[in-house]
Amino acid sequence: MSEHSKQESLQGEALKQALIQQQLKKAAAGRLSLSDRILPDETSDNIPLSAAQKRIWLMQQLEPDVAFANRPLAIRFQGMLDLQVLEQSLSTILQRHEALRTIFPSQAGEPVQQVLAPWYLTPDVIDLQSFPPEHRESEAIRLAQVEAQKPFDLATGPLIRGMLLLLSESDHILLLLMHHIVFDGWSEGLLLQELRSLYGAIATNQDPILPELPIQYKDFSWWQQKRLKTALLEKQLSYWQQQLGRHATMLELTPDSPRSAARTFRAQSQVLLLPQPLTQTLKQLSQREGVTLFMTLLTALQILLNRYTGQEQIAVGVPVAGRNRVETEALIGVFMNTLVLQSDLSGNPTFRAVLGQVRQICLEAFTHQELPFEKLVEALQPARVANRWPLFQVMFNFRNMPQTKDIRTDSLTITPFDFAGGMIGGLDLSLEIEAGTEGLQCKFTYPVELFEASTMQRLGQHFRGLLESIVHDPNQSIGTVPFMTPSERHQVLTEWNATHVAYPDGFRVHELVEAQADRTPTATAVVFADQRLTYQQLNQAANQLAHYLKTQGVSPGMTLGICVERSLEMVVGLLATLKAGAAYVPLDPEYPQERLAFMLQDSGVSILLTQHHLRTLIPDCQARVLCLESDAYLWTSLDQANPSCDISADDLVYIMYTSGTTGQPKGVMISHHAACNHLYWRQDYFGLETSDRVLQKASLNFDDSFWEIFEPLTVGAQLVITQPGEHGNIPYLIETIIQHQITALCLVPSLLQVFVEDADVERCTTLRRVTTGGERLSKGLQQRFFERLDASLHNGYGPTEATVAVTYWSCQREDTLSTVPIGRPISNAQIYLLDAQCQPVPIGVPGELYIGGVSLASGYLNRPDLTAERFIEVPSHLPEISSARLYKTGDRARHRADGTIEFLGRVDHQVKIRGLRVELGEIEATLREHPQVQETVVVARTDEVKGQYLLAYLVVTGETDTLKQTLRSFLKRRLPDYMLPSALIWITAIPLKPNGKIDYQSLPMPDSVQPVTDTEYVLARTSTEKQLGQIWCELLKLEKIGIHDNFFESGGHSLLATQMLYRISDVFSVTLSLRNLFEFPTIAELAEAIEFLMFSQ
């Protein structure tokens, strides 16, 4: 046998046959020991479950009312069907195979097998002939899908039932439903073969030819129980611990809809055919590389998952038949085991290198396949999440032998019938590939509550694209192997970035204001308190100051500092600076002296504009200080005409300092070209009119202040300035809106939340447009906004480095989106979502957000190293990008199918709790759904003892005596355990920075926090807690346990959990489910649940 043939025998049918032949040779030589042989066992009491049955039984206990473990088998009979012969055939199969007659009652908390006496299996007959012929099949499919979703009761059974759908006298569909605990995929083929043989024989009065069954399933269960007590278990366990113990991480496929604690497990499938030419080239590649086709396909799948998630350790579950004994060859039952095949894809290796790694992993794994999956989970104790599989979330199965599709008798054609009625238990994806005459058929099965059909269709196309790339060149690095279709690549790189608009060229910001002053000289431009300036007065005042600045040596390319409070002088000073050809550097008077000193020194301002009462706050500097009120006599008599200003559109408008990772702020340089483009776009998008009134409340150090000031002044609208220090005073803002009939307003989400909850907000009837940005806008806040206000809401995104905002989304009152997008790029801006290798990511897949186009800043002042690091040259492999530079934002986002962009958070601030990725915004959104929660912010903290844990800060209303426990229960019903905050902390208001964003540094630390791990030992306080503690100690073999210790983190596993639940039922006379223990995994929580049930009874 060639080396390649030996490898092929290690997968599927060939592997099983090789092992069976080895047993037969041993038996013939008299060398098959009693421990190797499976012998009939006459014991009928307390029959143990096999390892596979235990796993399925435990999963069903978590969701007893969900039919995710149903195994439907639909068969179409075309021809003259004899119902009596069919029933006799089915009943004979039922009599032959005890597994189909087995139920699973519990004894002292332990499930056991109980074999029922044979019965005559008669499917329910449903006549569909009253339906029009063209509708009968669709109705049959509907009925089959409904039936397939009805759960079984494992304790009482029976675990097989049938339904016969009569479409016509010569067309029947038989639906057989079995529970997976008694029936696996191999059993399906056995049942079809026996049904064909029996039906044909009985119909012709002949004796059927069926293989003898030397044992029954219970005999295998007894044998396996004894075998797992031998040294074999330890040897195999040691191997798997070494392979997975250090790297067991949960695969994080980003779903289309948020995950919830409750799942339905309903599934759909997408089928893709890999054509014969591609199949042949894959086989040839496999043969050249000395691997099986299975290994090649598995490698491709793991690489695709790596490209989808960015994770380097990729684990995939692979089912093995588990029928490695000759005695199990013809036995219906569940023998399947699952192997966890994990590959290390770090370092961007080539496909060929990963394929070699996968080959070695597969060869070793298949020789260690007897360790039951549940035993591995017990030993490794990975983070457990209800409704999600431990150790892997994607299953891969490859059938290399074509399945027999049609079975023919003299009067019938019997064909398997697919009605797409399956379910998926805790997995994110199952890929089954079957070899056929036309090529490889790939079936992608997925939970419909998480993924859209279009997402899975694209994933299938990406799988095919990746395979086509690797057969072309297996030496490609996995990070650069192309797999997107040309049309999708064109869509994400070109089509969705076709934003070119030919705006007027060569204008500067101040010239737009000058033009407006010429158009509407007598219209009111700026209002502050009881002061106001017309457009002509504003322009003339700014001109006089600009002329003076020029006499003091101010020239194009220079920078002027402006340290003022909101006032008329602020607007005059900004406009005059631009007219003099300089760029303004905003300096917030509330900033610390040290920060202001750095900004003054770094920017090199020659003149600093301020107000008299702020002079004492300004640190010593080289700049000349001019007070805009007390020094005004120096320029009020100068020329009122527009000064000449020889600057280009590439010269700077402002330098705005933002926080830097080094501890020192960095100055972002924005040009007139970028600023004017933004103003032109705003006019196109929002259509501000001369009748509009815009409220200016942002600090000059927040770039929203730029558009707040200059958007109205370039279109003839009115700018209304709020009083200093009142930007966060919601009652004041509301009164100002009402008094001045404000139509346009900007608030960051954290301030918008307070705004919409104010009792008087509905009085703001003049509001026409509200924009928000700077933080994630929750779906709940969007909904609340539309409940309280009759205005439009727009969600923007953009770092300071991209001129205020580069994407916008117009929120809709009635939408079905699960999150609020950040929209699409503005005019002449481009958004690219790239992975770690700067490759474009597909639709729906997270990537880092890069910005291109005219909106980009010129860079960071005096920081060429940082500028080169963040403003990168366009990689040569992206010729579709026309922009000369890209800004690397450090933000994560993804494209939705319609091209809108969904913001996902920061790349460098992803929070992981117990090894699982957590999106803090999801927890915040869930908390806001509670009617007593007005505002909330969730943060991650790290402690040497506790590790990383979550804190939730909340502003709440109403009675709070029991609110914390109510909120914990509220969260437990909606979020998995690892996403629950360790502490809920009441605060009177969310602390905000001067720019309105959340001030995370000012959030108070709680006096005590319940740690996630290594919990402080706390004694039982109640009788219920004491009794529970005694039960836990006995089961977990512990001397003591605290009421806040987690059952699973203390050594518990699912089988011990079932025993514990039995003990609870016996002691407290209440019934809890296994799912309840995942929801309440500590003594304190479980005791409260028990007491609640006892009180309810």
- Range in 322-326, 802-806, 825-829, 916-920 the model is least confident about: 916-920
Per-residue confidence band for 1010, with pLDDT thresholds at 50, 70 and 90 = very low
Of 190-199, 637-646, 912-921, the one with minimum mean pLDDT is 912-921
Task: Please report the pLDDT score of residue 247 as a whole number.
Answer: 62
Model confidence at 264, pLDDT cuts 50, 70, 90, reads confident
Read off φ and ψ for residue 748, nearest 5 degrees: -70, 155
**CA-CA distance, 829 to 497, in Å (whole number)?**
7
Where does CATH 3.30.559.10 sit in the chain? 51-220
> Is the Cβ–Cβ distance between 902 and 258 less than 8 Å?
no
86-138 pLDDT per residue, tens:
999 999 999 999 999 999 999 888 899 999 999 999 999 999 999 999 999 99
pLDDT band for 16, please (50, 70, 90 cuts).
very low
Which contiguous run of DSSP H or E holds residue 354? helix 351-366
To 10 degrees, the CA torsion angle through 421, 425, 431, 433?
Answer: -60
**What's the CATH number of domain 223-329+338-396+425-483, 3.40.1010.20, 3.30.930.10, 3.30.230.10, 3.30.559.30?**
3.30.559.30
pLDDT grade for 277, boundaries at 50, 70 and 90:
very high
pLDDT per residue over 714-742, tens digit each? 999 999 999 998 988 999 999 999 999 99
Give the model's pLDDT for residue 17: 44
Q: Does 226 score more than 80 pLDDT?
A: yes
Q: Is residue 18 pLDDT above 50, yes or no?
A: no
Instruction: Note the pLDDT tens digit of each residue in 655-712.
Output: 999 876 555 789 999 999 999 999 999 999 999 999 999 999 999 999 999 999 999 9
Residues 6+ apart with CB under 8 A from 872: 850, 885, 886, 887, 888
For 668-700, the DSSP string reads EEEEHHHHHHHHHHHHHHH---TT-EEEE-S-T
Best CA proximity match to 102, nearest among 217, 212, 214: 217
Q: What homologous superfamily does CATH list for 1023-1096?
A: ACP-like (1.10.1200.10)
For position 912, what pLDDT does the model report?
60
The proportion of the chain whose per-residue pLDDT surpasses 90, expressed as a percent, equals 64
Cα dist from 7 to 70, 274, 359, 1009, whole Å: 34, 23, 9, 55
Long-range (24+ apart) CB contacts under 8 A made by 1069-1075 are 1069/1094, 1069/1097, 1070/1094, 1070/1097, 1073/61, 1073/62, 1073/64, 1074/58, 1074/61, 1074/62, 1075/61, 1075/62, 1075/63, 1075/386
The tokens for 384 are 């457990």
Q: Please give the CATH superfamily to which domain 51-220 belongs.
A: Chloramphenicol acetyltransferase-like domain (3.30.559.10)
133 phi and psi, to 5 degrees? -50, -35
Q: Is the pLDDT of residue 142 over 90?
A: yes
CA distances from 1009 to 643, 760, 946 (A): 63, 37, 9
Q: What is the pLDDT of residue 293?
A: 96
Confidence of residue 523 (pLDDT cuts 50, 70, 90): very high
Q: Is the dihedral of CA 249, 251, 257, 262 positive or negative?
A: negative
* Residue/partner pairs of 499-502 with CB below 8 Å, 24 or more apart: 499/825, 499/826, 499/827, 499/828, 499/829, 499/830, 499/853, 500/827, 500/828, 501/680, 501/681, 501/684, 501/827, 501/828
The residues of the chain that CATH labels 3.30.300.30 are 915-1011
pLDDT value of residue 402: 52
Mean pLDDT of 564-571: 97
Intervals of CATH 3.30.559.30 along the chain: 223-329+338-396+425-483
Residue 755 has pLDDT above 60, yes or no: yes
Choice between 978 and 990, residue whose per-residue pLDDT is larger: 990
Q: Exposed, middle or buried, 44 (CB in 10 Å: 0-12/13-18/19+)?
A: exposed
Residue 1002 DSSP SS3: helix
Q: Are 362 and 81 in contact (CB under 8 A)?
A: no
Assigned fold of 915-1011? GMP Synthetase; Chain A, domain 3 (3.30.300)
Q: In which residue ranges of the chain is CATH 1.10.1200.10 found?
A: 1023-1096
pLDDT average, residue stretch 779-790: 95
Give the per-residue pLDDT at 595: 86
User: pTM, whole model, 2 decimals?
Assistant: 0.82
Residue 341 has pLDDT above 60, yes or no: yes
Q: What is the pLDDT of residues 405-445, one digit of tens each?
A: 566 766 788 888 887 666 676 799 999 999 988 999 999 99
Considering 941-945, 1006-1010, 1015-1019, the range whose residues carry the highest mean pLDDT is 1015-1019
State how far the Cα of 9 lies from the Cα of 981, in Å rounded to an integer.
50
| Stated length of the chain | 1097
Over residues 808-827, mean pLDDT: 94
pLDDT at 7 over 60: no
pLDDT of 28 strictly over 70? no
| 3-class DSSP state of 106 | strand
Would you state the structure tokens that stand for residue 864, as one six-digit string? 């060429």
